[in-house]
């Protein structure tokens, strides 16, 4: 690893940390034995997370008449997946600058793409028979964390020359930074004590065949296909919109099936974007 890449990783602590409660929610969402009581035990001591949950549970998103006043009722109304989404969104929104230096994308665009990849990873994982669909959702949501590392570092190093079009390829990232956002994403996941497979998926989602285990190769492939499908569908930069035949073959899917999954997932993508916009205080773009 180059000295510049090592310097970037060494300054990751400037991005902040993940509250213990949120890290525990990350673990619970990927635990098939986790119950509402487990989530309640983790959420209740965290005032900020509790406040966000109650606000979302009582929002127009759920169109319910009965007011929710307890964490348990909020979890019951929203479901454990939505609790995770609120926890993740509210936490990581604090780390996302209004514009990501080096990439020229806004915080809203970054989150819209991340949500689309998460929903599609979940659905494509299920379509391909992946054993841990919630893990695929989490990995999809956080696959581009490394771009936050890069943007934060560039903000404090204005003398670094970035190509006029931005860091649009892994090759450009490596040339300018000494490593890619995929590598920086894994380092940030490790710093935040996130599940190992989440960091691994961030590291290998552009090169899943090189991942060190069968589960991680499969998970990274799901995220790669979801990432490409999101770009193809307008949730991101369409310049990287080609689906990779080898990745599709690994999942026993074809382009037509992927497109069908995308079309079926669009309403959920919009709903999830709206929910995260409420949780983070950022307005989603009008459809």
What are the domain boundaries of the chain?
1-14+98-287, 17-94
What pLDDT score does 275 carry?
Answer: 76
Of 9, 5, 14, 10, the closest CA to residue 160 belongs to 5
The Cβ-side half-sphere exposure at 186, using a 13 Å CA radius, reads 17
What pLDDT score does 280 carry?
Answer: 63
What pLDDT score does 286 carry?
Answer: 45
What pLDDT score does 37 carry?
Answer: 92
What pLDDT score does 249 carry?
Answer: 94
Of 213, 192, 105, the closest CA to residue 142 belongs to 192
What pLDDT score does 217 carry?
Answer: 95
Of 157, 140, 115, the closest CA to residue 222 belongs to 140
Over the Cα atoms of the chain, what is R_g? 18
Alpha carbon of 26 to those of 35, 139, 267: distances in Å? 13, 11, 24
Rounded to the nearest 5 percent, the helix, strand and coil shares of the chain are 65, 0, 30
Query: 0.75 cut: is pTM over it?
Result: yes
What pLDDT score does 118 carry?
Answer: 92
Which regions of the chain are under pLDDT 70? 238-241, 278-287
What pLDDT score does 107 carry?
Answer: 87
The CATH fold of domain 1-14+98-287: Hypothetical protein af1432 (1.10.3210)
């Amino acid at each position: 690893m180059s000295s510049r890449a090592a310097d970037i990783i060494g300054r990751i602590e400037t991005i902040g940390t993940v509250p213990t409660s949120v890290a525990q929610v990350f673990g619970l969402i990927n635990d098939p034995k986790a119950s509402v009581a487990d989530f309640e035990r983790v959420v209740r001591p965290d005032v900020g997370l509790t406040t966000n949950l109650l606000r979302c549970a009582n929002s127009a998103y759920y169109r319910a008449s009965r007011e929710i006043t307890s964490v348990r009722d909020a979890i019951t109304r929203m479901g454990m997946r939505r609790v995770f989404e609120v926890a993740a969104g509210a936490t990581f929104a604090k780390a996302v600058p209004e514009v990501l230096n080096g990439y020229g994308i806004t915080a809203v665009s970054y989150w819209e793409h991340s949500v689309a990849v998460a929903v599609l990873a979940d659905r494509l994982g299920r379509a391909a028979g992946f054993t841990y669909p919630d893990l695929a959702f989490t990995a999809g949501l956080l696959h581009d964390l490394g771009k936050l590392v890069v943007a934060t570092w560039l903000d404090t190093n204005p003398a670094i020359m970035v190509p006029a079009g931005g860091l649009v390829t892994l090759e450009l990232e490596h040339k300018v930074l000494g490593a890619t956002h995929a590598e920086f994403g894994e380092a940030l996941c490790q710093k935040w004590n996130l599940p190992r497979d989440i960091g691994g998926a961030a590291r290998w989602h552009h090169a899943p065949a090189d991942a060190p285990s069968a589960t991680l190769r499969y998970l990274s492939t799901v995220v790669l296909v979801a990432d490409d499908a999101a770009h193809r569908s307008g949730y991101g930069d369409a310049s990287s919109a080609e689906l990779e035949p080898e990745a599709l073959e690994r999942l026993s899917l074809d382009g037509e099936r992927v497109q069908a999954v995308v079309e079926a997932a669009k309403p959920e993508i919009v709903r999830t974007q709206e929910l995260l916009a409420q949780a983070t205080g950022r307005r989603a773009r009008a459809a």
